[in-house]
Structure 1
């Protein structure tokens, strides 16, 4: 179901096309985004009232490719192509174009029903290195570093507490 009724869309388009106000002023008057005014008026100019009804389609990979090629051949914007082919969301065509550039016609097939798995990359594998026991010097250095870190953390906490305003502090009983 569409967010806006057909009668509301027609009212907005007619107001904009009357020439009294631009996209942004019309959008403000009706309490909607200015891109909706732009989209609805472009669709109405090409397809009339039928272009303003929301429809859900499943597009074939061949159709997706033809839209992208038409857009490039005629040097049209994504919004213009959406109006021409009655595609409701311009982001749909942007996604098609990205997929087409990455993998051609094959990439435009509908992959929603396929389970996506994480690729096996070296960065995703955990590395289990066998731990060798530390010699006494290394153990002493490690302990010294742990003490230094604990000291610095305590110092930072005390400084933070000192710099907080009185009303934010909790008093100990």
Structure 2
């Protein structure tokens, strides 16, 4: 979706209001894909002035009752989203269209505000471990350290054996690999 600057919108609206060119010719002249945006800008300008052409920078939160009133107005009168937006002093007909579609899909529950952002953490907090828990964690820590030292020791022994006689070490592992592959193939 192409976003047009406020100056560009104002220039086109003023050209439409002052000159002989219609929506379609202005759209062709400025390379706008359809006449719809120019119509929307013109109606917004006539209703709200230059403020009608500006994009809102903050999101306004509307109450559920207001949304419901807007939807009932559309159903009663058959007015377009643009006309409804002007009637309710809004500059965002697309927002009204979203409300209407959501209301048709989900009903009243869809119009209620939904919390934004990430869901809060669960109310269950981890309780601090007691002294017994700390003792167990200390024992677990020591067991992990012992296992790490065993692995390090075994690695250093194999490295030493490899440095002393690389050919014998490689031959031993080739034989082991060769005998394992024969067993697998004989199944």
Which TM class, normalised by the smaller chain length?
A: 0.5 to 0.7
Q: Which has the larger radius of gyration?
A: 2
For residues 65 and 104 of structure 1, what CA distance do their matches in structure 2 show?
A: 10
Q: Which has the higher contact order (CA 8 A, sep 6+)?
A: 1
Could you tell me which runs of 5 or more consecutive residues in structure 2 were left unpaired when the two chains were aligned: 119-187
Correspondent of 1:93 among 96, 114, 117: 96
Deviations 1:58-96 (A, max 9, x none): 333222212111222232012322344323352x32221
1:46 aligns with 2:47: yes
1:70 aligns with 2:73: yes
- Cα RMSD, aligned residues only: 2.7
Give the TM-score, by structure 2 length: 0.52
1:44 Cα shift?
0.9
Aligned length: 114
Could you tell me which runs of 5 or more consecutive residues in structure 1 were left unpaired when the two chains were aligned: 116-173
For residues 87 and 6 of structure 1, what CA distance do their matches in structure 2 show?
A: 14
In structure 2, relative to structure 1, the CA distance for the partners of 1:23 and 1:62 (3 Å cut) is: same
In structure 2, relative to structure 1, the CA distance for the partners of 1:28 and 1:58 (3 Å cut) is: farther
The 8 Å contact of residues 12 and 26 in structure 1, kept in 2 or not, is answered as yes
For residues 110 and 87 of structure 1, what CA distance do their matches in structure 2 show?
A: 20
For residues 96 and 112 of structure 1, what CA distance do their matches in structure 2 show?
A: 17
Give the TM-score, by structure 1 length: 0.55
